């Protein structure tokens, strides 16, 4: 039985062929009717075509989420007019400027805030009001980032080379909004979570990126789509208010990872493989960023599965830790 038959989903940032597109195709393969949002209408049409090839239904909604007058305040109404009551919202659209902290202009702050925080909040408000009025459960998923996490210290030895303080600050706000909002929504049967890649996602852009030279720390879009699906089909009583990392969540749930059509298991990315992939990313982060134990936050919102623990692996203050090759072969 497909998990999303009869459900209506809206996914932003679904026009570039990246993570949003992957989620949209995966959700459609599970039976959802999917509304697609982005500025790039041609990209949205390409995503819609992929969905229709699977026999699914797609609605193209071109919209500049950064423009308060660009139509973002009617996205839920337009989706419901075409498909019926909304069940799922995935806020995946993103905008980021990489500059040093003191170089951000007020325009940068306002522009990034509109896309990454205010637009998602407006869409969530409209969707949850519809869910509450209709007396039905719902699922909200907001995309986050490791950039939202606080580096270890002081003293600060970590190397933050990506120059995205503004992005990290906004994603921290998204995490807080999500957890606190989840508490308010729980009595209405609506769950809300955040999802971040374990490190980076191997999108088309990442293939040619000079920023991330070691592509082995990138996970496939399929793992992000599978983790998103898990958070948009889970128990609204218990799987809510979580700040999730993609691969870690899949291990926690012992969830099989399928291709975007939902028909074949993705080779090399099942639970045993993913454990090795996470450990490689831990080692990479310790080695190059001087950030030990990057994924063990000691908070219930982000469980660290016991199977990931390596006794004796980390020694407090160790200057020369060992780095076994845990990359997927």
Band the pLDDT of 299: cuts 50, 70, 90: very high
Band the pLDDT of 319: cuts 50, 70, 90: very low
Supply the CATH number for residue 156's domain. 3.40.50.720
Predicted TM-score of the model (pTM): 0.92
Confirm whether 244 is domain-assigned: yes
Confirm whether 288 is domain-assigned: yes
> 5-19, 107-121, 258-272, 310-324: which has the minimum mean pLDDT?
310-324
DSSP class of residue 97 equals -
Question: Would you tell me how many other CB atoms lie within 10 Å of the CB of residue 280?
Answer: 21
The reply to whether 167 belongs to the active site is yes
Q: Is 303 exposed, middle or buried (0-12, 13-18, 19+ CB in 10 A)?
A: middle
* Alpha carbons 139 and 67: distance in angstroms, whole number: 25
The residue among 113, 168, 128, 180 whose CA lies nearest residue 144 is 168
The residue among 94, 96, 95, 86 whose CA lies nearest residue 124 is 86
pLDDT score of 217 more than 90:
no
Confirm whether 324 is domain-assigned: no
Confirm whether 191 is domain-assigned: yes
Q: Torsion angle of alpha carbons 66, 67, 73, 79, nearest 10°?
A: -70
Confirm whether 318 is domain-assigned: no
- 246-253 vs 271-289: helix axis angle to the nearest 10? 140
State the catalytic residue, choosing from 104, 167, 258, 288.
167
The residue among 49, 58, 1 whose CA lies nearest residue 28 is 58
Confirm whether 329 is domain-assigned: no
Band the pLDDT of 37: cuts 50, 70, 90: very high
Task: Find the domain containing 228 and state its range.
Answer: 8-308
Between β-strands 190-196 and 243-245, what pairing exists: parallel, antiparallel or unpaired? parallel
Confirm whether 325 is domain-assigned: no
State the total domains in the chain. Answer: 1
Confirm whether 322 is domain-assigned: no
pLDDT tens, position by position, 143-196: 999 999 999 999 988 887 667 899 999 999 999 999 999 999 999 999 999 999
């Amino acid at each position: 039985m497909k998990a999303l038959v009869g459900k209506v989903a809206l996914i932003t940032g679904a026009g570039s062929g990246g993570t949003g597109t992957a989620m949209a195709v995966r959700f459609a393969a599970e039976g959802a009717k999917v509304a697609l949002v982005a500025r790039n209408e041609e990209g949205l049409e390409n995503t819609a075509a992929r969905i229709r090839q699977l026999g699914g239904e797609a609605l193209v909604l071109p919209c500049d989420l950064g423009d308060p007058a660009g139509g973002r305040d009617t996205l839920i109404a337009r989706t419901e007019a075409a498909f019926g009551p909304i069940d799922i919202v995935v806020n995946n659209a993103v905008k980021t400027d990489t500059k040093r902290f003191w170089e951000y202009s007020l325009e940068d702050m306002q522009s990034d805030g509109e896309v990454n925080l205010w637009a998602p909040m407006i869409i969530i408000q409209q969707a949850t009001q519809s869910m509450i009025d209709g007396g039905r459960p719902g699922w909200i998923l907001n995309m986050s980032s490791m950039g939202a996490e606080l580096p270890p210290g002081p003293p600060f030895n970590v190397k933050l080379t990506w120059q995205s303080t503004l992005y990290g600050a906004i994603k921290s706000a998204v995490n807080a909004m999500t957890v606190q909002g989840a508490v308010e929504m729980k009595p209405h049967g609506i769950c809300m979570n955040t999802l971040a890649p374990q490190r980076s996602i191997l999108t088309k852009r990442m293939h040619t990126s000079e920023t991330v030279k070691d592509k082995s720390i990138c996970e496939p879009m399929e793992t992000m789509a599978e983790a998103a699906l898990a958070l948009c089909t889970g128990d609204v009583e218990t799987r809510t208010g979580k700040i999730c990392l993609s691969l870690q969540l899949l291990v926690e749930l012992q969830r099989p990872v399928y291709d975007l059509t939902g028909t074949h298991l993705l080779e090399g990315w099942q639970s045993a493989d993913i454990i090795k992939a996470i450990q490689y990313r831990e080692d990479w982060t310790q080695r190059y960023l001087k950030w030990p134990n990057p994924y063990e936050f000691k908070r219930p919102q982000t469980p660290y599965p016991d199977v990931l623990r390596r006794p004796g692996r980390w020694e407090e203050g160790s200057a020369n830790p060992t780095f076994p090759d845990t990359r997927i072969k």
